[in-house]
Structure 1
Amino acid sequence: MPLSEREITEPVDLTGPTGLLNPEAVGWTRTPLHRTDSVTHGLIGRTRTKRWEYWAITTPTHAVGLVVSDISYASTHGIFVLDRRTGEQISHDAVGLPGAASLPGTLGEGVSRSRTRTVQLEFTHHDDGTHLSASGPRVRLEVTAHRPQHHASLGVVVPWSQRFYQYTVKDLARPATGTLWVDGVPHELPAGGSWATVDHGRGRWHRDVRWNWGAGSGTVAGRTVGVQVGGQWTAGTGSTENAVLVDGRLSKVSAELDWRYDRRDWLAPWQVRGAGVALTFTPEHLRRAVTDLGVISSRTHQCFGVWSGRVQLPHGETLTLTAENEVYGWAGDVHQRW
């Protein structure tokens, strides 16, 4: 069923001084307008505060994931690289004290940085884009995620309660340029075929959560397209993180979508349906990541592949994606205890 989601068009504080959710912050935006500096304030639920910056980069030959995060009692950082041609994947991960992660209070108002023995990451925002720098034992990266003029992004506040909530920004289809080095071998990112996506998160979470996230970027009939779909974690809140971006223009999909996939065969096609959305995700590679550190545990199945199907846009046009369009990205299933 369609939902009635409120579009926010003026700056607003995510929380009050005690760290509880500001009811006026609940809604969605086309550009980041939420101030989140107070998300760590107050004692109620403070240890459930989660903050992160996750960047994904896709090219015709590689997929890259970079994360800097602070989950209150620890910080986690990582570099992931998939070679699409061979299926080889490289993971450099580090867990440290919260002070090992430096994250701005509000999106775009500072540098995100981690400095550990094995992983070094730095994300620096500029007016026209974000510079991403990463270094690990086998991987180095220097990439700029450009921000075209009038480029929209999806911001959503998901309210489980006044105590538990999440603010997410999904910024898709950012043109990417630069270089990825793997074992010292440079791989230049081809212009026009390389894309960056950011998942910016600030909130307070329940300990046990499950979610789906799917995204893809590419060129369809000469137009830049980004696909963003989510599931499970937003159910029953009145908010969703579903949208399509065409040449920088955002179309919000205000409905919960039905995800269907086979947990016994992750590489079988995934189906995402509902409210004018009929998408198929065809995987080419499965990344399975399991972490069990006692207090922290997670089980992730993330598939990389191509999106096809159709989406009905608000002004009546039907956006059609085919496998040949190469709207490449991922779809995932995550169970997190943190």
Structure 2
Amino acid sequence: MQHELGAGELLDGKGSLREAGWARSEMRRYRRADIRAPWFRIKEWDYYCILDEECGIALTVADNAYMGFLSASWLDFSMPEAVTDSVTIPFPRGRMGMPESADAGDIVQSHPKISLGFRHEPGGRRLTVDCPGFAKGRGMKGDFFLSQPPMDRMVIATPFPDAPRAFYYNQKINCMPAEGTVEIDGRKHVFSPASAFGILDWGRGVWTYDNTWYWGSASGVVDGHAFGFNIGYGFGDTSAATENMIFMDGVAHKLADVTFHIPDGTYDGAPWRFSSSDGRFEMVFQPIIDRSAAVDLKILRSIQHQVFGRFSGFVVLDDGSRIEIRDFLGFAEEVENRW
């Protein structure tokens, strides 16, 4: 079953999801004031990633109630190298001003070690980063514009079993042409909209304590057409809908279940494989970089493996058209959180 959401409020008067399912746009209205769960269970974040064939950058602002988070990552696929600098903010409790819509409201966070700006502008989004001490003093400063023409996106509202006030409201926007410049250690890299594409992961919700999720994403050009996909699973009750979608020239094609087959004992060694219950997404993934992080404080635990690499295989659109994919740059991840 793949239930498509109608328009309306996200939560009812008890703080539970009014309707579970997926959508092509922001059909449901999220309001933090409607949440009825304890404050420490609320999770809100915006994550952007821009990739071209040579390099990538990832930026995160998160307000996870008892822990805020600002992060910038640089990816060099030729080395290969992944470098991340981050700042933790204790007990923000909603004070970071995360917007209640993915389509309105700016985020501006300034800290002595890192400043991030996610702003809406006509036709797209402006991202800025300034991290003077990045990579042990090499420094990072960047300014990017992500164009956002009219196009479908992945939207999903997911409940959690046996937790009526827990939910996950997530939007993933793929295939945004990116332009701009990042300077690291005095060297500049220019992102061109012909070859660089950005994605947004916009998450709002009330999460249960212990979850492991799987997520994959890619955006680019195939045979002259804007192409991308979002795949994932692992937390919540997805019986109403999955978050699996293909995007072709701005149009979403809905998939059923996709399974990640990760080689035992390695994340950036042997190839991964992906299979689908409907036979419409079959891929092999060759890793390049494992952007890993591990925090284990027993009560709080986060083990992350976001692996960047290349997808090869095929997808099938809603009309039955088969699209062959070869060495298509993207990422796939496994993340375990107790938070």
- 1:278 maps onto 2:282 in alignment: yes
Letter of the 1:102 counterpart: G
Counterpart pick for 1:250 among 244, 252, 258: 252
- 1:302 maps onto 2:333 in alignment: no
Quote the sequence identity (%): 26
Instruction: Please provide the CA RMSD for this pair.
Output: 1.7
Distance 2:297 2:56 in 1: 27
Aligned to 2:157: 157
Secondary structure of the residue aligned to 1:164 is strand
- 1:337 maps onto 2:331 in alignment: no
Matches of residues 1-338 of structure 1 in structure 2 within 5 Å? 4-10=1-7, 12-18=8-14, 20-24=15-19, 26-38=20-32, 40-97=33-90, 98=92, 101-136=96-131, 137=133, 138-148=139-149, 150-160=150-160, 161-234=163-236, 237-253=239-255, 255-266=256-267, 267-274=269-276, 275=278, 276-293=280-297, 295-323=299-327, 327-338=328-339
Unaligned runs of 5+ in 2: 134-138
Distance 1:167 1:263 in 2: 31
Residue-by-residue CA offset, 1:165-222 (whole Å, 9 max, x unaligned)? 1011011111000111111211111231000000000000011110111111111111
Checking the alignment, whether the CA contact within 8 Å between 1:168 and 1:200 is kept in structure 2 is yes
Checking the alignment, whether the CA contact within 8 Å between 2:42 and 2:205 is kept in structure 1 is yes
How many residue pairs get matched? 326
Checking the alignment, whether the CA contact within 8 Å between 1:235 and 1:256 is kept in structure 2 is no
Shift of 1:140: 1.2
TM-score normalized with structure 1 length: 0.91
Distance 1:42 1:102 in 2: 16
Aligned to 2:136: none
Checking the alignment, whether the CA contact within 8 Å between 1:212 and 1:334 is kept in structure 2 is yes
Checking the alignment, whether the CA contact within 8 Å between 1:243 and 1:251 is kept in structure 2 is yes
Letter of the 2:3 counterpart: R
Shift of 1:233: 1.8
Secondary structure of the residue aligned to 1:316 is coil
Q: Does the C-alpha gap of structure 1 residues 234 and 246 become closer, same or farther in structure 2, counting only changes over 3 Å?
A: farther
Letter of the 2:86 counterpart: D
Unaligned runs of 5+ in 1: none
Shift of 1:296: 3.3
Distance 2:124 2:157 in 1: 24
Letter of the 1:51 counterpart: E
Distance 1:304 1:73 in 2: 30
Q: Does the C-alpha gap of structure 1 residues 34 and 46 become closer, same or farther in structure 2, counting only changes over 3 Å?
A: same
Checking the alignment, whether the CA contact within 8 Å between 2:82 and 2:289 is kept in structure 1 is no
